[in-house]
Amino acid sequence: MSGEQHMIQKGKQAGLQKELSDMRQRIKDAAGARRLLQKENESLRRNQAKLDSMIDRAEREKNRLKETLAELESLKRIVELEQKNRKLNKELDALFGNFNKKQHQADSLKEKNMLLLVELERQPETNRYFKKKSREIIGEVCTLNSCDASCPSFDLCKKRVLIVGGITRMESQYRQLVETSGGIFEYHDGYMKKGLKKLEYSFRRADVVLCPVSCNSHAVCFAVKNLAKKYNKTVYMLANPSLSTVCQTIQGSAGASVN
What are the residue ranges spanned by the domains of the chain? 145-258
CA angle 97, 98, 100 (to 5 degrees): 65
Alpha carbons within 13 A on the beta-carbon side of 242: 9
Among 206, 203, 211, which residue's Cα sits nearest to residue 245? 211
Beta-carbon contacts of residue 257 (< 8 Å; ≥ 6 apart): 234, 235, 236
CATH number for domain 145-258, candidates 3.40.50.300, 3.30.200.20, 3.30.1490.100, 3.40.50.10190? 3.40.50.10190
176 in Cβ contact with 145 (< 8 Å): no
Q: What is the pLDDT along the chain (259 residues), one digit of tens a residue?
A: 667 777 777 777 877 888 888 888 888 888 888 888 888 888 888 888 888 888 888 888 888 888 888 888 877 888 888 888 788 888 878 877 887 787 778 777 767 766 666 666 666 665 565 556 655 655 555 554 444 444 444 456 678 999 998 888 888 888 988 888 788 999 998 888 777 888 999 999 999 999 999 888 899 999 999 999 999 988 999 988 888 888 888 776 333 344 4
163 in Cβ contact with 250 (< 8 Å): no
Among 184, 189, 188, 175, which residue's Cα sits nearest to residue 138? 175
End-to-end CA distance of the chain, in Å?
Answer: 173
